[in-house]
Amino acid sequence: MDSKTIAEQLCQFARKNYVADGADFDENSPLAKAGIDSFALVELLLYCERTFGVSVPDSHLTGKNLASVATLANCIAELSRSSDSSP
């Protein structure tokens, strides 16, 4: 699973659920400005669990990883790769 595909799906989910119609939003938009608060963040993380089978641990919920959809997608792709490679 590559980070670009993940980012596209996350963008779609955010647009459908949080971003107001007509508002500018893409994978590089800051998450905080797109309406992602603590509640929405949890919904986004649960969506990742359901769709990509990846749980994001608390230690990975850093400002850097949550800067935008693209950075979150990178983090998920990396977690997915590391869980695939682990025995």
Residue 34 makes contact with another protein by CB under 8 A: yes
Residue 42 makes contact with another protein by CB under 8 A: yes
Furthest-apart CA atoms within the chain: distance in Å: 46
Other C-beta atoms within 10 Å of 31: how many? 23
Stretch in the footprint of another protein (CB under 8 A) among 4-12, 33-41, 76-84 = 33-41
Residue 85 makes contact with another protein by CB under 8 A: no
Other C-beta atoms within 10 Å of 63: how many? 8
Residue 83 makes contact with another protein by CB under 8 A: no
Residue 79 makes contact with another protein by CB under 8 A: no
